[in-house]
Structure 1
């Protein structure tokens, strides 16, 4: 089973009535029609990275439709595009592009084992977003199987459905078979670096300055700030402290990057020895924390077993700089949680501020400084451990309330969080419940998604705990 979260691999986890491994698009059509006829819900899994497991577990009888074998990738460099089947991983996409060209790329996530079907339909962001936007901003066609078993492309599905599946979550509307993506241009070599600073080394001042400049830097640079807890040894004593890693991707050479950073962010103290010039495809592995020099074939690796550890993700959007005293409190609290929680702060600006919030269902555009991903992970098993760490996760999330977006407190669909609302059991759906999460994921676009759903699946066959309901439900 392609599951990437230990908390859904326990023996008591809900099991499907069957797993249908789709080897051909006709298998998808047959599964939909059979399940519909027999009143059985389906869960659609491409990469298995759904952070709440909603693509492969449920509290009602269900069948898993596993898209993983449908993984072909057809790269057309002449037309700067590619057809990517839903089960292909993002790492495979990067690899196949690189086999054809060293000056083309695709804006998508850092984790290479993400499935293209779900990752792209939820929005899909990565370190090219300040230059080229997110994945759905670079989708030019798609194939989807609808509730009646029809295979539709962009023309036959119509503008509304094509709009909805690009960031609204495809599983509310049908089964994504494939995406036609637009390739983007990158330099033959890009420059990357990681600079790590603890609280004792001035991390708080650096993070505060980062908030002021990261969105205003040229769009060729993406500078993420990762907050975590590390052990440091001083005078023979080991203690835990908070550390911030500034990790960058720059579409250009080291000389240009040094000039840029040392002018805009001299406090970072960036040196030439911190930087490495590598092909873009190699940078995708670097960002995944693989050592420099790792063969690009590593992008093709897919875990054979479920992950042994468990995790919980959440997200926030920040619109105003967080004051220094609050930053200190945040990092101090991270240390109290003993290294089980970390944050990744992803800067906006550039292209993200140029695209309208209604262009796709993904609404998080101008007005945001950065996106926060919270990641809580643990290795212990059992319900008690799970509840303990989920409480830590929720407690930290509540602590962050004063510093993040409000009315609604926005969230990113790809960082699925059932804590912001959901239908339980999933066969009971309502507009009022759906608004609780829909307004946070989609803001004002939620109403349009409901209208599209009502048009293409008015009987609400495609549903799950956080799906888009039709007006009649």
Structure 2
């Protein structure tokens, strides 16, 4: 009898803990009234607004998060200046309604605009805050978090064809989320990740205050550059250092099937690619029974071809594979195809109708040839997905792991992204099962203790926060946090404790506050 009573009390406490921080209807009404008094009504969309659904889905990149079962926000705020963002935070704190922040909508788990658990929350959508201001002479730019990478790249190219910025391939990715996790693309071996080139930022903290680099302090400025989005506040804009590129770059794409020696070439690639001169980047997409080698070289074919003959003859590169273009022309070429124009990277919409799931790994020791044979057998299975592999080395590996929260540096050969896709006509269970089984198969061949992952390839299967009352568990956070951040996770939690000790900004994988440095 006593044990039954104890069990009932424990269950009651658990239920109260789960629901203690859920706002009441009155607080939700108070939040909306507060917003209406501080923000122009045309910038506020409640669930009863005719345009609510269209605004919500406008930058949902994974259609599985626009289905009826998705937990939707109480409202969407579309600020046009910093004061609107500050008002949203102040109103939220006052009425116990949390806000989530969306810049481009590419969060792999949709946490910038939906909740994986029942919760009342609002979305601050930064799409109207998208200014890019380039200082060609200083080789810097201020870019708002709501701008896309395509808009950033385009603005840089208009100022100078000899300047660029080292960030991701997809032009519709929002700057805010991309920078918050690190951000890498085809310039990573030459110039590192995006946050290695961030000089300053403006942040709205949990008290609604607007902070620059000096005001937020060293620890918080360190934390926002790669520590994941929606943990430390709302970053409104970033000052970045632009990097030089030559007048022409050389692109190539070479596809090899298993019958054409893809296993041998990939086995060789994983040791060659991270050790090549940092001007040369060769990534691999493996799907079904083929491997596609995609490359950018900061130079001309006249110097690339002898280099490839000397260092990577197995690929069989020749001049017919090579295409010269400007750096800005390479942006649509690599992601949208050879028929795309530079102006196409300004398109903020995406045509994808496929549902998707992804996860990631880091490789520090070359995978043996016999394992690659097994990997291609996995890729040949029904309902299989693909692997995308980006080589490291060069600049990205030259900094210590603690230089930024992004810790995957020295000793990393390459990163793997696993993805699978399915249509709305199926439930995706077979595709997700393949992804999880394949991820388990890869365990012995990738990094361990921790098994590293990239936070911008967010995966809730790696773990989720546990909230008791209003406190996010630091120990539970370590389960997923050390995979993303390794030894930097504790420092991130301490920084969180300084800037947001009451844990106002949180989601299923946000950094928990650690209020002691002992």
Match of 1:302 among 348, 351, 354: 348
Does residue 110 (structure 1) correspond to residue 169 (structure 2)? The answer is yes
Q: Tell me the distance in 1 between the aligned counterparts of 2:240 and 2:179.
A: 10
Instruction: Give the deviation of 1:380 after TM superposition.
Output: 3.2
Q: Tell me the distance in 1 between the aligned counterparts of 2:167 and 2:514.
A: 32
In the alignment, is the contact (CA less than 8 A) between 2:471 and 2:503 conserved in 1? Answer: no
Aligned to 2:47: none
Q: How does 1:113-192 map to 2 (within 5 A)?
A: 113-192=172-251
Aligned to 2:492: 449
Aligned to 1:18: 75
Q: Tell me the distance in 2 between the aligned counterparts of 1:260 and 1:304.
A: 37
In the alignment, is the contact (CA less than 8 A) between 2:389 and 2:416 conserved in 1? Answer: yes
Q: How does 1:301-320 map to 2 (within 5 A)?
A: 301-303=347-349, 307-320=352-365
Aligned to 1:253: 300
Structure with the higher helix share, 1 or 2: 2
State the TM-score, normalized to the length of structure 1.
Answer: 0.94
In the alignment, is the contact (CA less than 8 A) between 2:494 and 2:515 conserved in 1? Answer: no
Q: How does 1:306-345 map to 2 (within 5 A)?
A: 307-338=352-383, 340-345=384-389
Aligned to 1:267: 314
Q: Tell me the distance in 1 between the aligned counterparts of 2:489 and 2:130.
A: 30
Instruction: Give the deviation of 1:424 after TM superposition.
Output: 5.7
Aligned to 2:123: 64
SS in 2 for 1:281: helix
Does residue 55 (structure 1) correspond to residue 112 (structure 2)? The answer is yes
Aligned to 1:233: none
- Give a deviation string over 1:307-355, Cα, whole Å, max 9, x none: 42111111100000100110010011111034x4111111011112211
In the alignment, is the contact (CA less than 8 A) between 2:280 and 2:296 conserved in 1? Answer: yes
Aligned to 1:279: 326
Instruction: Give the deviation of 1:396 after TM superposition.
Output: 1.0
In the alignment, is the contact (CA less than 8 A) between 1:7 and 1:386 conserved in 2? Answer: no
Aligned to 1:416: 458
Q: Tell me the distance in 2 between the aligned counterparts of 1:8 and 1:386.
A: 13
Q: Tell me the distance in 1 between the aligned counterparts of 2:336 and 2:347.
A: 15
Instruction: Give the deviation of 1:387 after TM superposition.
Output: 2.8
Q: How does 1:187-202 map to 2 (within 5 A)?
A: 187-202=246-261
In the alignment, is the contact (CA less than 8 A) between 2:466 and 2:477 conserved in 1? Answer: no
Instruction: Give the deviation of 1:11 after TM superposition.
Output: 1.4
In the alignment, is the contact (CA less than 8 A) between 2:187 and 2:281 conserved in 1? Answer: yes
Does residue 374 (structure 1) correspond to residue 418 (structure 2)? The answer is yes
Unaligned runs of 5+ in 1: 230-241
Does residue 468 (structure 1) correspond to residue 511 (structure 2)? The answer is yes
- Give a deviation string over 1:233-272, Cα, whole Å, max 9, x none: xxxxxxxxx1000000000001111111111111111010
Q: Tell me the distance in 2 between the aligned counterparts of 1:217 and 1:116.
A: 29
Q: Tell me the distance in 1 between the aligned counterparts of 2:248 and 2:362.
A: 31
- Give a deviation string over 1:132-154, Cα, whole Å, max 9, x none: 00000000000010011111111
In the alignment, is the contact (CA less than 8 A) between 1:107 and 1:125 conserved in 2? Answer: yes
Q: Tell me the distance in 2 between the aligned counterparts of 1:439 and 1:414.
A: 14
Does residue 29 (structure 1) correspond to residue 86 (structure 2)? The answer is yes
Does residue 97 (structure 1) correspond to residue 139 (structure 2)? The answer is no
SS in 2 for 1:172: coil
Q: Tell me the distance in 2 between the aligned counterparts of 1:447 and 1:428.
A: 16
Greater Cα shift, 307-316 or 143-152: 307-316
Post-superposition, which runs of at least 4 consecutive aligned residues in structure 1 deviate over 3 A?
Answer: 424-428
SS in 1 for 2:127: coil
Q: Tell me the distance in 2 between the aligned counterparts of 1:345 and 1:471.
A: 35
In the alignment, is the contact (CA less than 8 A) between 2:231 and 2:511 conserved in 1? Answer: yes
Instruction: Give the deviation of 1:289 after TM superposition.
Output: 3.8
Q: 1:337 to 1:432 in 2, by over 3 A?
A: farther
In the alignment, is the contact (CA less than 8 A) between 1:425 and 1:465 conserved in 2? Answer: no
Match of 1:86 among 145, 150, 156: 145
Q: 1:260 to 1:304 in 2, by over 3 A?
A: closer
In the alignment, is the contact (CA less than 8 A) between 2:70 and 2:114 conserved in 1? Answer: yes
Q: CA RMSD in A?
A: 1.4
Q: 1:137 to 1:107 in 2, by over 3 A?
A: same
Q: 1:425 to 1:378 in 2, by over 3 A?
A: farther
Unaligned runs of 5+ in 2: 1-56
SS in 2 for 1:454: helix
Paired residue total = 456
Does residue 291 (structure 1) correspond to residue 338 (structure 2)? The answer is yes
Q: Tell me the distance in 2 between the aligned counterparts of 1:304 and 1:370.
A: 28
Aligned to 2:24: none
Larger Rg computed on CA atoms = 2
SS in 1 for 2:505: coil
Q: Tell me the distance in 2 between the aligned counterparts of 1:223 and 1:337.
A: 28
Q: 1:208 to 1:452 in 2, by over 3 A?
A: same
Q: Tell me the distance in 2 between the aligned counterparts of 1:442 and 1:130.
A: 20
Instruction: Give the deviation of 1:472 after TM superposition.
Output: 5.4
